[in-house]
């Protein structure tokens, strides 16, 4: 199934070129991180559909996933 993935800041170089990714049924954000070869320790925050739902929930078709390193500002 297909999901939408964006990677930001220092991780932007890992983003899929067209912004979409084919994943297996039952895949989680951790699987996505591995599939994109992002070093796990560089990922601080994952949003699934704008919610910080953890890296272990099961993804659904058309989910929107955002992957971030540690970020601050304000």
Partner 1 sequence: MAKLLRINSKNKKIAYEELTGPYAGLGGRGLTSRVVRREVPPACHPLSAQNKLIVAPGLLTGTTAANTGRLSVGGKSPLTGTIKESNAGGTFSQKLAKMDIMGLILEDKPDPGSPFQTLFINKDGAELIEIPEITGLGTYDASARLFEKFGTKVGIMVIGPAGENTRLASSIQFTDPRGKPSRAAGRGGLGALMGSKKIKAIVIDSEGSKAPEMADREAFKAAAKRWAEILVNHPVTGQGLPSYGTSILINIINEAGTLPTKNFRSGRFDKASDISGEKMVEFINKRKGIAREGCHAGCIIQCSQSYNDENGEYLTSGFEYETVWAFGSNLLISDIDHIAMLDRLCDDLGLDTIETGTTLAMAMEAGILPWGDGLKAIELLKRVHDPKDYLGAIIGNGTSFTAEAFGVDRVPVVKKQSLPAYDPRAAKGVGVTYATTPMGGDHTAGYAICQNILKVGGDIDPLGKEGNIEISKNLQIATAAVDATGFCLFVAFAVLDTDDSLDTIAKLISSRFGKNFTAEDIAKTGIEILKDEYSFNRDAGFTAAHDQLPDFFINEELPPHNVKWDFTAEELQKAKIEI
Q: Does 19 bind partner 1 (CB under 8 A)?
A: no
Token pair recorded at residue 44: 């601080």
- Candidate residues 10, 20, 39, 60; the one interacting with partner 1 per rule CB under 8 A: 10
Q: Does 26 bind partner 1 (CB under 8 A)?
A: no
- Candidate residues 1, 4, 6, 16; the one interacting with partner 1 per rule CB under 8 A: 6
Taking the C-alpha atoms of residue 35 and residue 22, their distance in angstroms, rounded to an integer, is 10
- Candidate residues 8, 16, 35, 55; the one interacting with partner 1 per rule CB under 8 A: 8
Taking the C-alpha atoms of residue 21 and residue 32, their distance in angstroms, rounded to an integer, is 8
H/E stretch holding 33 reads: helix 29-35
């Amino acid at each position: 199934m297909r999901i939408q993935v964006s990677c930001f800041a220092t991780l932007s170089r890992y983003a899929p070129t067209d912004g979409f990714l084919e994943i297996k049924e039952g895949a989680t954000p951790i699987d996505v991180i591995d599939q994109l070869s992002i070093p796990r320790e560089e990922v601080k925050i994952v949003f699934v559909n704008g919610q910080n739902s953890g890296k272990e929930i099961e993804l659904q078709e058309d989910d929107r996933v955002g992957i971030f390193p540690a970020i601050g500002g304000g």
